[in-house]
Amino acid sequence: MNGYSDIIDVLKGSQRLLIAGHEDPDCDSLGAALGLYLAAGGADKRWTLLRTGEPPKNLSYLPGLDLFRDPAGVSPADFDAVLLVDCSELTRAGGFMPALCRGKKVYCIDHHQVARPEGEVCVVEPEAAAACEIISCILHEAGFAIGDEAALCLYSGIASDTGGFRFRNTTPRCLTEAASLLPQIDSELVRIRLFEDRTYANMKMLAACLREMQVECGGLLAYSWLSRAEMEKYGAGYNDCHNIVNFLLELSGVKVALMFEEYADEVKMSFRCREGYRVDELARRFDGGGHMLASGCKQPGGLSQVMPAVLEEARKLFC
């Protein structure tokens, strides 16, 4: 594990800090930013929370979501330095970030495997289950008081990225940090909102995904797609397609699952796999990234242009 003294100095000494997570924010990204802001006195230090994209509807219970600002409302004059959470490259927080943050100091706290994290002080722990796990450790070591709202945000991020403490990334430290937060939160609320709270459009997208599912490579590769027309039919958007790919991986024998979502001018892809395979490498071939077992990317164009090229590369995982 990395030492935390340098990042603790940053958190205790920084005024006017811009905190940004990755594009298309998920529970860990939002929970990490909020937990840090609430516990470390972000309001008193005039910190700014930046969000690129709308949060999934099921995360509306997270306290402080209204504190986030859209990129259009933030200028370089609003902050003196940048802290990336749940990502460690400025472009992962949005293509506009390098220009917005030009000349500013950059720091990062992340659990994704990257070749070259950006920042003068970086805490990158790929062995951690979630960015919220790392931030919980940092806050405890720094002596910051974690209030009930911050605890809910951090616990939610850990629970989300471990699949409710079912995934292989559930380690003793992860459980220890979650246990320290548990007395302050409503675990029933977290379980329902994270894993059992679906919109009507989401259920329709799940049905469409399973209807179109294809299996190749001797049953090892499963993939499906959601066309723009299908999504428009039910008024579905990004949030309504979140984590549907996980259902494809549940088919017996499948080792790699791919999900394609067609939007107006791009295709969003989600990749999942079992131990022994790596979808992060597949995602990087198409300018994406993520974890070894869960990654994603976007490509301009429609399904007919994007899917064949991606499937061709995916099939090579079994050669």
> How confident is the model over 39-88, as pLDDT tens digits?
999 999 999 999 988 898 899 999 999 999 999 999 999 999 999 999 99
- Predicted TM-score (pTM) of the model is 0.89
Grade residue 1 by pLDDT with cuts at 50, 70 and 90: very low
Based on the domain organization, do 171 and 232 belong to the same domain?
A: no
189 vs 8: CA distance, rounded Å: 31
Query: What does the mean pLDDT of the chain come to?
Result: 95
Q: Domain boundary residue among 138, 169, 195?
A: 195
Burial of 246: CB neighbours in 10 Å, binned 0-12, 13-18, 19+: middle
**147 shares a domain with 223:** no
Out of 149, 171, 195, a domain closes at 195
Range of the domain at 221: 200-318
Number of domains in the chain: 2
Largest CA distance in the chain: 58
Q: What is the separation, in whole angstroms, between the first and last Cα of the chain?
A: 35
Claim to verify: residue 162 and residue 231 sit in the same structural domain: no
Q: Which pLDDT belongs to residue 114?
A: 83
Same domain? 129 vs 150: yes
- 256 vs 113, 165, 247, 292, CA distance in Å? 19, 21, 11, 11
- Which CATH number covers residue 143? 3.90.1640.10
Of 195, 215, 238, the residue at which a domain comes to its end is: 195
